[in-house]
Amino acid sequence: MPRILFVVNNPDRWPISLPEVEVVSARTYLTDPQFSTLRNCKVYNLHRSYSYQSLGYYVSLLAEARGHKPMPRISTIQDIRFQSLTRTISADLDELIQKSLGHVPHDEFTLSIYFSRNVAKRYDQLARQLFNLFPLPLLRAQFNRTEDGWQLQSINAISTNDIPEGHREAVVELARDYFTRARAHPPRKSPPRHALAILTDKSDTTPPSDAKALERFADAADRLSFSVEMIDKDDYGRVAEFDALFIRATTAVDNYTYRFARRAEAEGLIVIDDPESIVKCTNKVFLAELLTRHRIPIPRTEILHRDNILDVPKRLGYPLILKQPDSSFSLGVVKVEDEVAYKNKVEELLEESDLLIAQEFLRTDFDWRIGIIDQKPLYACRYFMARGHWQIYNNQKQGDDHTGDFETIPIEMAPKRVVQTALRAAELIGNGLYGVDLKEVGGRCSVIEVNDNPSIDSGVEDKMLREYLYDRIMEVFERRLEAQREGRAIE
């Protein structure tokens, strides 16, 4: 059994006494050599402050460095500082929030969360969901009633000093219950070898994999003696049940997919797409800077902002392409033909982001897509432009006119310079699953973008490799899980 530590300001004033929990001061934990060499330990950081470079901050930071399992982790401490997350959380939990607070007669409501619970059982479900999103021992959420219903305004960590006197006895019982029941994370299943979760989104109109492809992923995993479960955004609290997470929902930094990736990584799961890849690939400003710095060929590109609006067209000419940093599936990517269209569109896009990408327009009949897994080429596709359009996706059309045709070819038949350029670009991101889009013009190969969550649909990307494509991806999970189990470095 792991050793459990409560790290607090002053153990002499700590009100909770549990036989299986050792209470130590933050300063002792940080400075006493016995704790730096301790193994198999869980650290519950209950310091009164998690502010940057405070004792509380360093408790979680050094606990991670020591291989302990802290609550909260540094990533959670950082997340709690960014209150913009509350808007996303409020939207994700809106139905539960309205149901839980519908009876409240006032326009403000404070929910205290102690070790994942509230002192009133009627709020337990809401408390657990918020705890799942922000795993901290002691939390406080503030709600306000608006014309649209209840909204989560803020969520903050609290110290024991912030616990009302009338709650203290109940908090002791909640803490005792937390440490005596099957807690924090549900027990892992007992799969033949490993448990894999595949995160999907049934509401996504352009998912990265269709139903048949998802079935083939599951079959490939089954061939390797994995248990497989399709999960969705409501299963966030179950992440720790699994050994690996494969994200097959459209990723973005500001939605639940990133939170799943972060949680999975924090829990020690093998995860594709990993959170760092999501951050790097979903922002085109970052990609432009990264590829330019490493001399990966890209179209002539400028980072556009309010101070250089008039200068950029002089260097790039018309037509030119404007891109929102986090655009995907051709959304937020526009072509402007002249100065009037340029000025109008720039003003519109700069309302959404302080930085944009402006790029020269390269006219081609198709884009290359090189699929890469574990820094090795996997498949090669030509995606042709939608009928009468300059992009692969024409979001103004429906049916057959929405997308262009495709041609999948053996990776060995793709131009060597295309494959090698794609590999160089993907290596800058990581060792996950990527789709690198490129154009060839006049014998020159240019990277358009690197996708962390490339499309793999039945009958398209798998047309050449068929089941072997799915096997290759699942084998990467298997190798990494076996390396993790044996304590070897994951290559």
The CATH number of the domain holding residue 205 is 3.40.50.20
Find out whether 392 and 404 touch, Cβ atoms under 8 Å: yes
Q: Does position 246 have pLDDT exceeding 90, yes or no?
A: yes
Task: Write the burial class of residue 485 (CB in 10 Å: 0-12 exposed, 13-18 middle, 19+ buried).
Answer: exposed
Confidence band of 3 (pLDDT split at 50, 70, 90): confident
- Kindly state whether residues 236 and 208 are assigned to the same domain: yes
Confidence band of 253 (pLDDT split at 50, 70, 90): confident
- Kindly state whether residues 171 and 202 are assigned to the same domain: no
Which contiguous run of DSSP H or E holds residue 469?
helix 467-486
Residue 463 is classified by DSSP as T
The pLDDT assigned to 357 comes to 87
What are the residues whose beta carbons fall under 8 Å from the beta carbon of 339, sequence distance 6 or more? 313, 318
Distance CA 466, CA 471 (A): 9
Q: Does position 166 have pLDDT exceeding 80, yes or no?
A: yes
Confidence band of 390 (pLDDT split at 50, 70, 90): low
Q: Does position 188 have pLDDT exceeding 50, yes or no?
A: no
Domain end position, chosen among 126, 145, 180: 180
Average pLDDT, the chain: 86
The CATH number of the domain holding residue 329 is 3.30.1490.20
Q: Does position 41 have pLDDT exceeding 90, yes or no?
A: no
Domain end position, chosen among 40, 55, 76: 76
What are the residues whose beta carbons fall under 8 Å from the beta carbon of 429, sequence distance 6 or more? 277, 280, 281, 450, 452
- Kindly state whether residues 313 and 241 are assigned to the same domain: no
The pLDDT assigned to 189 comes to 43
The pLDDT assigned to 181 comes to 55
Domain end position, chosen among 58, 76, 94: 76
* Burial profile 27-46: b = 16 or more Cβ within 10 angstroms, e = fewer: eebbeeeebeebeebbbbbb
Q: How far is CA 435 from CA 176, 215, 252, 371, 404, in A?
A: 49, 21, 16, 4, 17
Q: Which pLDDT tens digit goes with each residue over 325-336?
A: 876 555 578 899
Q: Does position 182 have pLDDT exceeding 50, yes or no?
A: no
The pLDDT assigned to 84 comes to 55
Distance CA 336, CA 346 (A): 10
Tokens found for residue 397: 């059309």
Q: Is the dihedral of CA 309, 312, 313, 319 positive or negative?
A: negative
Q: Is the dihedral of CA 435, 436, 437, 442 positive or negative?
A: negative
In a domain, 48, yes or no: yes
Tokens found for residue 376: 């090795």
Q: Which pLDDT tens digit goes with each residue over 284-307?
A: 888 989 999 999 999 998 888 988
To the nearest 10°, the Cα dihedral for 104, 109, 110, 113? 40
**Mean pLDDT calculated for residue range 194-219:** 94
Which contiguous run of DSSP H or E holds residue 246?
strand 244-247
Between 478 and 156, where is the model more confident? 478
- Kindly state whether residues 135 and 153 are assigned to the same domain: yes
- Kindly state whether residues 114 and 167 are assigned to the same domain: yes
Find out whether 263 and 414 touch, Cβ atoms under 8 Å: no
Tell me what percent of the residues of the chain surpass a pLDDT of 70: 89
Confidence band of 224 (pLDDT split at 50, 70, 90): very high
Which contiguous run of DSSP H or E holds residue 22?
strand 21-25
Q: Does position 26 have pLDDT exceeding 80, yes or no?
A: yes
Q: Does position 12 have pLDDT exceeding 90, yes or no?
A: no
- Kindly state whether residues 108 and 27 are assigned to the same domain: no
Task: Write the burial class of residue 261 (CB in 10 Å: 0-12 exposed, 13-18 middle, 19+ buried).
Answer: buried
Q: Does position 191 have pLDDT exceeding 90, yes or no?
A: no
Residue 72 is classified by DSSP as S
The pLDDT assigned to 379 comes to 96
The pLDDT assigned to 51 comes to 85
The pLDDT assigned to 29 comes to 92
Q: Does position 316 have pLDDT exceeding 60, yes or no?
A: yes
The pLDDT assigned to 89 comes to 66
Q: Which pLDDT tens digit goes with each residue over 460-477?
A: 999 999 999 999 999 999
The CATH number of the domain holding residue 106 is 3.30.470
The pLDDT assigned to 186 comes to 43
Tokens found for residue 42: 């869980």
In a domain, 219, yes or no: yes
To the nearest 10°, the Cα dihedral for 418, 439, 258, 145? 180
**Mean pLDDT calculated for residue range 66-95:** 74
Q: Does position 396 have pLDDT exceeding 70, yes or no?
A: no
The pLDDT assigned to 443 comes to 83
Q: Which of 456, 416, 411 is nearest to 435 (CA)?
A: 456
In a domain, 23, yes or no: yes
In a domain, 46, yes or no: yes
Confidence band of 240 (pLDDT split at 50, 70, 90): confident
* Domain membership of residue 355 as a residue range: 300-360
pTM score: 0.64
Angle of helix 85-92 relative to helix 94-101, nearest 10 degrees, comes to: 70
**Mean pLDDT calculated for residue range 14-28:** 83
In a domain, 288, yes or no: no
Distance CA 291, CA 286 (A): 9
The pLDDT assigned to 392 comes to 63
Find out whether 382 and 367 touch, Cβ atoms under 8 Å: yes
Distance CA 449, CA 426 (A): 10
Question: How many structural domains comprise the chain?
Answer: 4
List the Cα angle 17/20/23 in 5-degree steps: 55
Distance CA 402, CA 387 (A): 8
- Kindly state whether residues 156 and 87 are assigned to the same domain: yes
Distance CA 449, CA 208 (A): 16
- Kindly state whether residues 176 and 93 are assigned to the same domain: yes
What are the residues whose beta carbons fall under 8 Å from the beta carbon of 298, sequence distance 6 or more? 288, 291, 292, 359, 446, 447, 448
The pLDDT assigned to 72 comes to 87
Distance CA 276, CA 455 (A): 19
The CATH number of the domain holding residue 45 is 3.40.250
The pLDDT assigned to 190 comes to 40
- Kindly state whether residues 337 and 318 are assigned to the same domain: yes
**Mean pLDDT calculated for residue range 217-222:** 95
Which contiguous run of DSSP H or E holds residue 421?
helix 416-427
Distance CA 472, CA 96 (A): 40
In a domain, 291, yes or no: no
In a domain, 159, yes or no: yes
- Kindly state whether residues 176 and 196 are assigned to the same domain: no
**Mean pLDDT calculated for residue range 246-269:** 92
Q: Does position 15 have pLDDT exceeding 80, yes or no?
A: no
Task: Specify the length of the chain in residues.
Answer: 491
In a domain, 384, yes or no: no
Between 149 and 397, where is the model more confident? 149
The pLDDT assigned to 233 comes to 87
Q: Which pLDDT tens digit goes with each residue over 356-388?
A: 889 999 988 899 999 999 999 999 999 987 766
Q: Is the dihedral of CA 84, 89, 95, 99 positive or negative?
A: negative
The pLDDT assigned to 342 comes to 92
For residue 288, the SS3 value is helix
- Kindly state whether residues 65 and 96 are assigned to the same domain: no
- Kindly state whether residues 221 and 261 are assigned to the same domain: yes
The pLDDT assigned to 416 comes to 95
